[in-house]
Structure 1
Amino acid sequence: FLIKDLASHGNRYIFVMDDIWDIRTWEVIKCAFMDSHPESRLIITTRIVDVATKAGGIYNMEPLSNDNSEILFYTRTYGGEALTSSNQHVEVTNKILKKCGGAPLAIITIASLLVGKQSEDWSKVYDAIGFRHEDSEVVQNTRKILSFSYYDLPSHLKTCLLYLSMFPEDSFIEKHSLIWKWVSEGFVPDRSFQLGESYFSMLVNRSMIRWIDGDADLDGQSGCRVHDMVLDLIRTISNEVNFATVHDMEHHGTCSGGKLKVRRLAVHGKSGEHNCSIAMEHVRSFNVVECSANSMPLLLSFKVLRVLVIEDCVFWEGGSLEHLGKLLQLRYLGLVKTAVKIPEGIGHDLKFLEILDVRGGLISELPPSVGELMNLRCLWADNGTVMKGEIGKLTCLEELELHSVEKCPNFFTEVRKLTKLRVLKIYFAEIQESAGKALMESLCNLHNIHRLTVLDDGRQAEYSVVVNHSLEDLAPCTKLYELNLLCIVIPRVPSWINHLSVPLLSRLGLHVDAVEVRDVQTIGRLPSLLELGLWSKDEKNVSYTFGSNEFHKLRILWTKNIEIAVGEGALPMLEWLEYTASAERKDAASLVPWRRNSCPLLKDVTCWLDCTNNSYREVKEAKQALRQASGTRRNAEYLYLVIRKENYDEEAGRFIDNLVEVLGGLERPGKEGIPADEADLRDMITSLESLLRDGVEPRVGRYAEQELRGFVTTFKSLLPDAAAATTIKEEQPDNGDATSSADQDQEGAASHC
């Protein structure tokens, strides 16, 4: 009614509606607003992403920077006067602002309490931040505001949020492992990972947890963090309803036989020690982080344990979990960053185990019996951990991450049996072409795949196996999100990689025999593509110019043996670029593919400079031209440029360049500039021939090798008996200095130059 009344006066207004909680409220406001003056504007604030999406354009509010947090804090405490007048408060102020995490509401709430207080009281306020002191004034202000968000959640989301109270403060919580813990605890109906994923998204959309995007990095992990004040709230509620207990918290749970009856227990840090007053037979979930073995109760004391997480803990040398097999109801086992031996019979004892996480690389092997865990839905292992058992019986697997898969018996043929796989990340050291072909045939049987990564162990696709398999038969589901096969060379880009078949594809890495222009054009129409790695095995570079009507969301571009250019208005979201250029072409258009009006967000560039047919001086000129051209971008705050040379040895190139300068372009003996001393000539010939004999192509490049052989011929022609001049053996000079190695000969030759 107010909006309609104001609009009747015919004036223009900006209406600000604060903290809209539901879509229906927004629809009522919108109906009233539509009758107002067409030039008026309506701005709303909300914590609910669905409401913001319904309203139209969204401005996602970022946390305040440190400087702006200080300005807001001191403006409230001192009324805008002398913002840094109290230097003695700097330390406690920094602690308070860190606790607030850039949230304006938290900063205003706490700063309001400090107005008029003595400096010695500021530390007391900091200690009271949170909900642990019931008489604290901070409690009454912050709890009232944050509790609205919590009590507005449906019951299933409340349960999932309370589970986060078990994690250490400020910790990064990986998304997939968290969802699988919810599933193992029974919080998700039908034990569906996809449904649990929707729960996670709802908590993010309601601003109860902060999303951490790891997709900007090819190896990044996505997850969340919990704001300190939200963590204090859910820990208090969790404690009140006896949902979970963090070891260092005061507990008010019920007692059973004189002992505390808890259902979920977390122990963090060295301060945690086994508390004999807790009845372990009722514990369903036990998380221990950064503790020693004596801080943990005996596994035999657990009777109904379903989730066991031991992360970054210290066991005695050669320590093992000998009673692990007694935990018959265990669904989730996490042994992360912990050096411990897994019992040999784990696969025969833990029949209901669904998730096994041994990431961290401190467990050397998974015993063969792991291959008998037929209910296993998720298996994660890092580099350094070898799977000793076969995987063919693990037909319930939905997620699999393994390194050194060439050491896993019959892996390349048995992986085809895992038809429920949604996520597959495998790494190998080196495999034969036949094994690579078998792997490709197996992958074509995985039609439910969402993320597929095949790479070599730790070498960033330096090793590639060529297979004559096009992957045309893979035909994945429309939910394919990631495909990375850079270490497998396939004949062509599969035809099903298009905007109709895989509309959600966001990360793509392919190594193809020969990339064609139409392949890049098709890939450019993928609506969700964020990262692209496209390599051509054929060294005859294909040329492609990116236009303004494609790759609208692309943030990372990684090409090889493809000559690229970026047209005006193209790649507007690109932040990271890696490409190949030839040192032969020193013009700016060839060395620097982007233009002044393209790639406004570009920050990191790596150029692989091919120096195969270039001298030291030519390479130096190309580098200078590249650096100069890359610095001409308009409105560029900072561009980090890395130049990596290929097919070139800089020391050898400099040596050759010095020789060219000494010879002065002379082609025949007897002219000025050529050394006349016979001993010097022999030393020079020895050095050059050693460099040619010991150098491994393409150490100095083909051009450099030709130059070296020309120098050897020229110098030999200057010897007294040129016809008899053959390979000179290493000699002891007259001055007695030893020159027994090829490196010393090279240094001697360089000094003569």
Structure 2
Amino acid sequence: MRTILSFSYYDLPSYLKTCLLYICIYPEDCMIYRDRLIWKWVAEGFVHHANQGTSQFLLGLNYFNQLINRSMIQPIYDRLGMIYACRVHDMVLDFICNLSHEAMFVNLLDDIGNSISSQSKVRRLSLQNKYEDHQAKPLTNIISMSRVRSITVFRPAINIMPSLLRFEVLRVLDMSGCNLGEYSSLQLNLKDVGHLVHLRYLGLSSTKISKLPAEIGSLQFLEMLDLGGNHELLALPSTVCNLKRLIYLNISPCVVVPDGVLRNLTSIEVLKVALGSLSIIAQELGDLSRLRDLRIFFKDGSLDLYEGFVKSLCNLHRIKSLSIVCYSREAPSYELMDLLGERWVPPGHLCRFLSHKPIKLSALQGWIKRDPSHLSNLSELSLMSVKDVQQEDMETIGELMSLRLLQIKSTHQTQRLLVIRADWFRCMVVFDLNCGSATQIIFEPGALPRAEAVRFSLGVRVAKEDGNCGFNLGLQGNLISLRQYLCVYMYVGGVRVGEAKEAWAAVRHALDTHPNLREIGLFPHPPIAEGAHDDDLLCDSDEEN
């Protein structure tokens, strides 16, 4: 087997050999997230520009796919069948670890002194802890750390992490998932990060930090900064504006971004950030011409803020993924999405659009009627607060031929019946349509021919009033590609307990007789209380919609 692996390895081009060897920093059976791995390759200098206009990440993505095609790494798929992570077979990992040891490429160290090598020529460190209960001391057995270029720490091996002052040429520092909070026993001073002037990659996601030191502004070459999952972190220091080479920035929704920061991040390609009521920050987004992935959180809003954001969005011609999330508990406001429908023309390469802001589907129809090609590559559409889905709306969306995921949650429905036609959604894999208690959804024979996961709602009272007392939803002999799950939200408010049980039994029978399902879900709203009498009337609340 080693001979076979050797043939496969030595057949790789030199740049893929380096990228594959780097994977030995991960422990056995570890799930390796694709994007993080590629950003590390970029930071290490393994990804080389084809030309100045090419995104290094997209070139690294090509490297990643080549390793999969050559069966050197094993892909992990999401529910849409898209690769988002990988694993390495144990024998491949053992093979590349041995090669790494021979070339002194990566040093694997744990808290009991078990290491491939601890020589002075250390270039890359992977700190792992196989025995979580072992009381460890910080590493002292490395003669010199001045040449270390990369450190990846896996929880709880953070306890053996030495002071950052010991490193002089570090390019990659990944402590994601390690506890760096104030209650940690770790004596690691994050202020020392300012000493790492060569740093390209800084991974601090889910580390429980409450403050980012101002010294981070000294990292003139920093390209990737991941602060996601740190809910204790409330603000960025103003010195972040000095990070002009930053390509990737991910922060939690609660973090405040100072004025003027975004305007300077002209190299940014991926931005996951929160906006408050500061319209000046929304306007600064328009200067980020290389942005291709934007996830933005609105905590509150005003017309000036929305207008500034939409104006900026019109300047972002490389956008491929746009997510808009709102945490406001105020009354629904359609101003932002109305402005988007009127003033924004989605680029033809847009492949993902998510909105947690209230939206009328007239905005989507406006984009399509202007030029259907604007959404020709859209594969994921998630609209979590829609007012009144009509049959013509479903027809418009159903004709988006690249659509693989659809999530719609509707409020204030007036359309009592939605029929999913057989000639719509020909590429749909995940279908999720929740229209509350005021609508019943029925599938035509042949509908959703490629759907593997389906979730939809049933208004029991509406179905009975419209004569569908057998609750025939078109499930028998239909949805032939279902592999993952089929879930039905049954809204039983306004009917008798006996009628609700009858509907439950009919739908349950249809689900149980479906030949391909692994998982079945049937959820009544409101729940039917145990021991309730058949003549009792179930409440119908506004929250059901």
TM-score, L = length of structure 1: 0.61
Q: Offset at 1:284?
A: 1.0
Task: Report whether the alignment pairs 1:545 with 2:419.
Answer: yes
Q: How does 1:315-394 map to 2 (within 5 A)?
A: 315=180, 317=182, 320-361=189-230, 363-365=232-234, 366-382=236-252, 385-387=255-257, 390-394=261-265
- Contact 1:359/1:380, CA 8 A, preserved across alignment: yes
Q: Distance in 2 between matches of 1:696 and 1:523?
A: 30
Q: Offset at 1:155?
A: 0.8
Q: Offset at 1:388?
A: 5.1
Compared with structure 1, are the counterparts of its residues 364 and 304 closer, same or farther at alpha carbon in structure 2 (3 Å cutoff)?
same
Q: Offset at 1:285?
A: 0.9
Alignment correspondent of 1:532? 406
Q: Offset at 1:629?
A: 3.9
Q: Offset at 1:196?
A: 0.8
- Greater Cα shift, 279-288 or 371-380: 371-380
Q: How does 1:679-694 map to 2 (within 5 A)?
A: none
Task: Report whether the alignment pairs 1:201 with 2:83.
Answer: no
Which of the numbers 469, 477, 486 marks the counterpart of 1:605?
A: 486
Deviations 1:508-533 (A, max 9, x none): 12354454544433433333321112
Q: Which amino acid aligns with 2:420?
A: F
Q: Distance in 1 between matches of 2:265 and 2:3?
A: 49
| Number of residue equivalences | 513
- Contact 1:503/1:526, CA 8 A, preserved across alignment: yes
Q: Offset at 1:347?
A: 4.6
Q: Structure 1: which 5+ residue stretches go unaligned?
A: 1-141, 254-258, 661-694, 702-753
Compared with structure 1, are the counterparts of its residues 699 and 547 closer, same or farther at alpha carbon in structure 2 (3 Å cutoff)?
closer
- Greater Cα shift, 483-492 or 221-230: 483-492
- Contact 1:470/1:494, CA 8 A, preserved across alignment: no
Q: Distance in 2 between matches of 1:639 and 1:341?
A: 41
Q: How does 1:608-647 map to 2 (within 5 A)?
A: 608-611=489-492, 613-633=494-514, 635-645=515-525
CA RMSD of aligned residues (A): 3.6
SS in 1 for 2:357: strand
Task: Report whether the alignment pairs 1:174 with 2:174.
Answer: no
Alignment correspondent of 1:574? 451
Q: Distance in 2 between matches of 1:563 and 1:448?
A: 39
Q: Structure 2: which 5+ residue stretches go unaligned?
A: 50-54
Q: Distance in 2 between matches of 1:161 and 1:557?
A: 37
Q: Distance in 2 between matches of 1:659 and 1:296?
A: 63
Q: Offset at 1:441?
A: 4.3
Q: Which amino acid aligns with 1:451?
A: S
Compared with structure 1, are the counterparts of its residues 322 and 700 closer, same or farther at alpha carbon in structure 2 (3 Å cutoff)?
closer
Which of the numbers 56, 67, 87 marks the counterpart of 1:225?
A: 87
Q: Which amino acid aligns with 1:454?
A: I
Q: How does 1:149-168 map to 2 (within 5 A)?
A: 149-168=8-27
Alignment correspondent of 1:268? 128
Q: Distance in 1 between matches of 2:379 and 2:9?
A: 33
SS in 1 for 2:296: strand
Q: Offset at 1:295?
A: 1.0
Compared with structure 1, are the counterparts of its residues 465 and 144 closer, same or farther at alpha carbon in structure 2 (3 Å cutoff)?
farther
Larger RCO: 1 or 2 (CA < 8 Å, sep 6+): 2
Q: Distance in 2 between matches of 1:495 and 1:391?
A: 30
Q: Distance in 2 between matches of 1:621 and 1:287?
A: 57
Compared with structure 1, are the counterparts of its residues 325 and 203 closer, same or farther at alpha carbon in structure 2 (3 Å cutoff)?
same
Q: How does 1:663-678 map to 2 (within 5 A)?
A: none
Q: Distance in 1 between matches of 2:251 and 2:98?
A: 35
Compared with structure 1, are the counterparts of its residues 198 and 316 closer, same or farther at alpha carbon in structure 2 (3 Å cutoff)?
closer
SS in 2 for 1:356: strand
SS in 2 for 1:414: helix
Q: Distance in 2 between matches of 1:367 and 1:284?
A: 26
Alignment correspondent of 1:137? none
Q: Distance in 2 between matches of 1:329 and 1:159?
A: 20
Q: Distance in 2 between matches of 1:408 and 1:240?
A: 55
Alignment correspondent of 1:54? none
Q: Flag the structure with higher helix content.
A: 1
Q: Distance in 2 between matches of 1:398 and 1:482?
A: 15
Q: Distance in 2 between matches of 1:207 and 1:589?
A: 54
Compared with structure 1, are the counterparts of its residues 345 and 486 closer, same or farther at alpha carbon in structure 2 (3 Å cutoff)?
closer
Q: Offset at 1:536?
A: 4.5
Deviations 1:69-108 (A, max 9, x none): xxxxxxxxxxxxxxxxxxxxxxxxxxxxxxxxxxxxxxxx
Q: Which amino acid aligns with 1:593?
A: L
Q: Which amino acid aligns with 2:269?
A: E
Compared with structure 1, are the counterparts of its residues 636 and 178 closer, same or farther at alpha carbon in structure 2 (3 Å cutoff)?
closer
Q: Which amino acid aligns with 1:608?
A: Y
Alignment correspondent of 1:143? 2
SS in 1 for 2:358: strand
Q: Offset at 1:293?
A: 5.1
Alignment correspondent of 2:52? none
Q: Offset at 1:642?
A: 2.1
Deviations 1:633-654 (A, max 9, x none): 3x24555122241xx5856995
TM-score, L = length of structure 2: 0.82
Compared with structure 1, are the counterparts of its residues 606 and 444 closer, same or farther at alpha carbon in structure 2 (3 Å cutoff)?
farther
Q: Which amino acid aligns with 1:338?
A: T
Q: How does 1:168-567 map to 2 (within 5 A)?
A: 168-190=27-49, 192-216=56-80, 222-248=84-110, 250-251=115-116, 260-269=120-129, 273-291=138-156, 294-315=159-180, 317=182, 320-361=189-230, 363-365=232-234, 366-382=236-252, 385-387=255-257, 390-402=261-273, 404-406=274-276, 410-431=280-301, 435-436=305-306, 438-456=308-326, 465-467=333-335, 468-471=338-341, 473-490=343-360, 491-497=362-368, 500-510=373-383, 511-541=385-415, 543-561=417-435, 563-567=440-444
